[in-house]
């Protein structure tokens, strides 16, 4: 057991009847980091989270949370937002959030004091006397996030944080997650929307069909799967270049597929020498979606 880990999952497995939901999954979440638990729907993400939180007992394997087994005291140090939302639909929003905070040990005055700036930040202040069921799905999602963080937990676990959010509110939630991390909070995000976490996560576990698929630092994984392509954008025509096997136009940029023996720097030097005006020249790094598809198709997996 490593004290520097907020979560330590070792070789957990879980079946429901004949369905193997999780099979030999292991990962660690370091204190203070943003960790992404990623994969398509049905991959085993939520089951893994529920095992970590002691909601489900694993058939095999072990779990340590905040340095050891789960306890009632530790539950007050954790903020958990499940995929199935848990707000009381018939209560006014403010009263609902204050009540849920009281379950985590806050007094009503403490809860209201912390709640006011968050309601303002998420444009919910004017709706605080409305019943929860009268709010849109996006508003309820923001309220659920506020409920998850209001007691200022040291570990936050969010299942599908960006569901029902438009681009503006998605950005608000991302900024909040980054602020919490900078303040020392540990965050685990579980989502099938892989594109939403690429700018947030330090490390990830990508799971598929209940198994570890890829695990480690996001940048290292992306570098490992970088092909031999570069993106180029220029106001004029691109000349034919030695070592470039294929040129593919995408919007206003062109992807150059290079021969294996050719370094991107050689192509850059050649373009400059030919007097090509470059608005963009960068190594093409694949998205997590592209990496996932490739790994599944090639049958690769990390242990």
Residues 134-180 have pLDDT tens digits of: 999 999 999 999 999 999 999 999 999 998 899 999 999 999 999 99
Average pLDDT for 240-244: 88
Decide which of 1 and 281 is more confident.
281
Decide which of 228 and 33 is more confident.
33
- pLDDT for 35-90, tens place per residue? 999 999 889 999 999 999 999 999 999 999 999 999 989 999 999 999 877 799 99
Q: Kindly report the pTM of this predicted structure.
A: 0.85
* Residue from 230, 229, 211, 219 nearest 300 by CA: 211
Report the percentage of the chain scoring pLDDT > 70. 97
Buried b (16+ CB within 10 A) or exposed e, 127-142: bbeeebeebeebbbbb
pLDDT band at 241 (very low <50, low <70, confident <90, very high): confident
The SS3 call for residue 100 is: helix
Residue 5's pLDDT is: 92
DSSP classification of residue 254:
E
pLDDT band at 303 (very low <50, low <70, confident <90, very high): very low
Residue 85's pLDDT is: 73
Pick from 20-24, 29-33, 95-99, 159-163: least confident? 159-163
Q: Is pLDDT of 301 > 80?
A: no
The CA distance from 278 to 250, in Å, is 16
The CA distance from 298 to 268, in Å, is 31
Tokens describing residue 220: 């290292």
Residue 294's pLDDT is: 86
Residue 300's pLDDT is: 52
Average pLDDT for 258-284: 90
Tokens describing residue 299: 């049958």
pLDDT band at 261 (very low <50, low <70, confident <90, very high): confident
Q: Is pLDDT of 302 > 80?
A: no
Pick from 27-41, 88-102, 262-276: least confident? 262-276
Average pLDDT in the chain: 92
């Amino acid at each position: 057991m490593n004290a520097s880990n907020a979560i330590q999952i070792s070789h957990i497995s879980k079946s429901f009847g004949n369905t193997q939901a999780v099979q030999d999954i292991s990962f660690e979440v370091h204190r203070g980091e943003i960790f992404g638990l990623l994969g398509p729907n049905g991959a085993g993400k939520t089951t893994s989270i529920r095992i970590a939180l002691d909601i489900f007992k694993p058939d095999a394997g072990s779990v340590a949370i905040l340095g050891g087994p789960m306890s009632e005291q530790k539950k007050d140090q954790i903020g958990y937002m499940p995929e199935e939302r848990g707000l009381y639909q018939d209560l006014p929003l403010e009263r609902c959030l204050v009540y849920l905070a009281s379950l985590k040990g806050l007094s009503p005055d403490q809860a209201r004091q912390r709640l006011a700036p968050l309601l303002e930040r998420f444009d919910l202040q004017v709706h605080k006397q409305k019943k929860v069921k009268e709010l849109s799905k996006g508003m309820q999602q923001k309220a659920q996030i506020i409920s998850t963080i209001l007691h200022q937990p040291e570990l936050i676990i969010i299942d599908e944080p960006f569901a029902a959010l438009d681009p503006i509110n998605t950005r608000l939630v991302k900024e909040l997650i980054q602020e919490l991390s900078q303040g020392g909070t540990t965050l685990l995000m579980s989502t099938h929307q892989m594109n939403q976490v690429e700018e947030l996560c330090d490390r990830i576990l990508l799971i598929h069909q209940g198994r570890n698929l890829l695990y480690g630092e996001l940048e290292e994984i992306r570098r490992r799967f970088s092909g031999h392509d570069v993106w180029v954008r220029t106001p004029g025509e691109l000349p034919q270049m030695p070592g470039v096997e294929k040129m593919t136009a995408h919007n206003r940029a062109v992807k150059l597929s290079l021969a294996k023996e050719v370094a991107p720097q050689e192509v850059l030097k050649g373009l400059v020498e030919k007097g090509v005006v470059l608005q963009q020249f960068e190594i093409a790094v694949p998205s997590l979606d592209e990496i996932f598809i490739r790994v599944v198709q090639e049958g690769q997996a990390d242990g």
